[in-house]
A and B are shown apart, each in its own frame.
Chain A
Amino acid sequence: MQIFPFIVVVWIVGAGLYGIVTSRDLIHQIICLIVVQSSTYVLLLGVGYVTGAVAPYFNDVPVHTPAVDPVVQALALTDVVVEAAVTALLLAIAIQAHKRFGTLDPHDLAEFKG
């Protein structure tokens, strides 16, 4: 494991969180949430990466060839599915927000607290 992917992960998380905290537009905020989540893909793949190894399917390579960890790739794939669901739902709600209130600013929306 190298240190580089982890620096990238921290950078992506930081950028995404900074975006969510400072954003004045819901769509931008939701995209920043996706950015935070993308850090987990990098982290997962970074954790399972083996330098010089092949992709983890063993059709035409000799047995005992080093391969990168397939489990983390499965996890990243599941993660993508989760993200798709969350993002779709959030964007649908954001569209409703725009339709009802004509604004996408989270500060304005907070005025409509139930």
Chain B
Amino acid sequence: MDQLFALSVVVPLLVAAALVGVKPLLSGRRRVLDAVAVLTAASVTVMLLVIMARTDGGDAVYWFAGFRPVRGIAIGIDFAAGPLSAGLAALAALLVTASMIFSWRYFQQVATFYHVLMLTFLAGMTGFCLTGDIFDLFVWFELMGVSAYALTAYRPEERGPIQGALNFAITNSVGAYISLSGIALIYGRTGALNMAQIGAYISRHPPDRLVVVAFLLIIAGLLVKSAIVPFHFWLADAHAVAPTPVCVLFSGVMVELGLYGIARVYWSMFGTALGHRAAISHVFLALGVLTAVVGALFCFRERHIKRLLAFSTISHAGMFLAGIGLLTPLGLAGAAVYVAGHAMVKGVLFLCTGIVLHRLGSVNETLLHGRARHLRITGVLFTLAGLGLADLPPFGTFLGKGWIEDTGESHGMMWLTPVFILCTILAGGAVLRVAGGVFYGLGDPPAEEQRMARGANEETSETDADRQRTPLTMLIPPTVLVAVAIAIGLTPLGPAVEAAAVRFQDQAAYNATVLHGAHVAHPVSPFPVEAAGITVPGVVRGLVSAVGALLLAYLALYRRRLPVLRRGYQPRVGLSALAEGFQSGVINDSVTWLVFGLACLGGVLALIIR
């Protein structure tokens, strides 16, 4: 059992190294490379699922080389996995497996380093989820980052990838170094790098400014990774240009891992020490709601399908942050289920976009209008996933978001539900508009949309010359992911996920498990635990979102027939230029916004925590 922890990161890293080593032998044997990579990713998925199943309601702790803590002082480096962290890692591994199977027939020529980078990316994500050491968190963060930057620039012979990768790499690196500064400060104060021990130390002392500053700095780096407004400018550029199977990972888990990092850091280190629970909760909520709204608005005005999906990811990241930021078990459980459901449907959407790109050589909604009618299965999958994104029951998304909304309502935040439903309708409506226009040729043919189309450049094909049919290996992964998304919504997961969330938030139990080897099977929540299940209001809200998204998509497709709009209504040029100015794609601007966001967040924290 214990060895599984080490193996789950060692296996992908070793296989990656071996693939580089035997590269000369593998030239011309592409299938061997594919098979090894797929098998590795699949075996890591199984290992992580086993770890998750065996956490037994508590945390399973593994000390590397057997350096166990002595009298409650950690001297080694540990992996500490609860059901949520192991589950997130398993989700990452599952998506890596799906993307690898998808890319079996996808790339024209695939160099060894695609598989190598995917495997190191997987190792980075797994380590990030499992680690219990704050400095290792940074190292895994960077391993994940470097692999991701390289994967974004996978086709450097083209224009977009260079710009996207540079923006991604520089912005995220600045974020990572800010986090590292925070880690150094907290080490200076506590003399510890183990998260449990840091938490035990600072909760025994009254919080001072240094702890608050360290919290701010660590959080800021993770907020950059999770693309929270105003730290989000790198995301759309990177998503638009990365190879489509890689986008599945970026949207499905990488962004969510940043949020996981925030939750882990908050509940294992700072939660008890900082106090001011309500105020911190409001800060997270404000950031989350702002992100959800901004992402949804930008999503709807986009015509480049990959960018559109990227903005929808930003919007969803905001809702996940709001779920986590409610700081209650049900909110966290909702965010966890929502992340899983979203990862599945977003994965399907990206994979179907990949199929469209493979067959038709474009990802521009305007150019593709009605041209994908013959891709029937792809169209059905894309539409289903679009409905899933719009929270149609029984997709897992409706369950998770419903719990977040339930929590908001029981805490007197009645406005949260309509705001979330509106964001979902905007993002889901945009995706369904794409589905209707591209796959079914619904709506008026685009004529006078040159201005909108200009923004969405043609993308040259990433793929094989044979485009007469869609290979089976490209259809199986999205089909499986749709099935899993529905299964998540239908399985009675509620009590188990909520117990895991309670466990995740119980800092004392985490400390005791890691530092003293205690087994705390039934942690207690200081907050009332609300029942998690499928409720009638939840189903109704899901249905409202889905119907609203369908209506919005319909209106968007036939907008020129609307009486008001027939009189030559154009979105105001100034407004649209402003929106484009925000997304200038200049690295300098992204970093300026990062500094601005950091300063604002610092100011707010300084005001609330005195």
Question: A residues engaging B (CB < 8 A)?
Answer: 1, 9, 13, 17, 20-23, 26, 29-30, 33, 36-37, 39-40, 43-44, 47-48, 71-72, 75, 78-79, 82, 85-86, 89-90, 93-94, 96-97, 100-101, 106-107, 109-110, 112-114
Q: Are A93 and B153 in contact (CB under 8 A)?
A: yes
Other-chain residue from B135, B139, B159, B165 in contact with A101 (beta carbon distance below 8 A): B159
Per the bound structure, the CA–CA distance linking A47 and B177 in Å amounts to 16
Other-chain residue from B150, B163, B177 in contact with A114 (beta carbon distance below 8 A): B163
Classify the interface of chain A: helix, strand, loop or mixed. helix
B162 is an interface residue with CB less than 8 A from chain A? yes
B108 is an interface residue with CB less than 8 A from chain A? no
With a cutoff of 8 Å between Cβ atoms, the chain B residues found around residue A21 in the complex are 588, 591-592, 595
Q: Most chain-B CB neighbours within 10 Å: which of A85, A86, A101?
A: A86
3 closest pairs, A vs B, by CB?
A: A114-B160, A114-B241, A47-B188
Per the bound structure, the CA–CA distance linking A107 and B167 in Å amounts to 11
Q: Which residue of A lies closest to B174 (CB)?
A: A36
Classify the interface of chain B: helix, strand, loop or mixed. helix
Other-chain residue from B163, B164, B170, B188 in contact with A29 (beta carbon distance below 8 A): B170
With a cutoff of 8 Å between Cβ atoms, the chain A residues found around residue B161 in the complex are 114
How many contacts A-B (CB < 8 Å)?
A: 130
With a cutoff of 8 Å between Cβ atoms, the chain B residues found around residue A79 in the complex are 180
Question: B residues engaging A (CB < 8 A)?
Answer: 135, 139, 142, 145-146, 149-150, 153, 156-166, 169-170, 173-174, 177, 180-181, 184-185, 187-188, 193, 237, 240-241, 457, 459, 584-588, 591-592, 595
Q: Are A75 and B135 in contact (CB under 8 A)?
A: yes
Q: Are A112 and B160 in contact (CB under 8 A)?
A: yes
Q: Are A43 and B139 in contact (CB under 8 A)?
A: no
- Known contacts A71-B193, A93-B166, A106-B588; A17 and B184 CB within 8 A of each other: no
Please list 18 pairs of residues, one from A and one from B, whose beta carbons are closer than 8 Å in the complex, sorted by A's number.
Answer: A1-B188, A9-B181, A17-B591, A21-B591, A29-B170, A33-B170, A40-B181, A47-B185, A75-B187, A78-B139, A89-B169, A96-B162, A101-B162, A106-B588, A112-B160, A113-B237, A113-B585, A114-B459
Q: Are B185 and A43 in contact (CB under 8 A)?
A: yes
Q: Are A20 and B185 in contact (CB under 8 A)?
A: no
Q: Are A39 and B169 in contact (CB under 8 A)?
A: no
Per the bound structure, the CA–CA distance linking A101 and B153 in Å amounts to 15
Q: Are B149 and A20 in contact (CB under 8 A)?
A: no
- Known contacts A1-B188, A78-B139, A113-B163; A106 and B592 CB within 8 A of each other: no
Q: Are B156 and A96 in contact (CB under 8 A)?
A: yes
With a cutoff of 8 Å between Cβ atoms, the chain A residues found around residue B150 in the complex are 89
Per the bound structure, the CA–CA distance linking A96 and B160 in Å amounts to 12
Q: Are A93 and B187 in contact (CB under 8 A)?
A: no
Per the bound structure, the CA–CA distance linking A44 and B188 in Å amounts to 8
Per the bound structure, the CA–CA distance linking A44 and B193 in Å amounts to 13
With a cutoff of 8 Å between Cβ atoms, the chain B residues found around residue A107 in the complex are 586, 588
Q: Are A90 and B180 in contact (CB under 8 A)?
A: no
Q: Are A36 and B177 in contact (CB under 8 A)?
A: yes
Other-chain residue from B135, B158, B173, B586 in contact with A33 (beta carbon distance below 8 A): B173
With a cutoff of 8 Å between Cβ atoms, the chain A residues found around residue B193 in the complex are 71
With a cutoff of 8 Å between Cβ atoms, the chain A residues found around residue B145 in the complex are 86
Other-chain residue from B157, B164, B457, B595 in contact with A17 (beta carbon distance below 8 A): B595
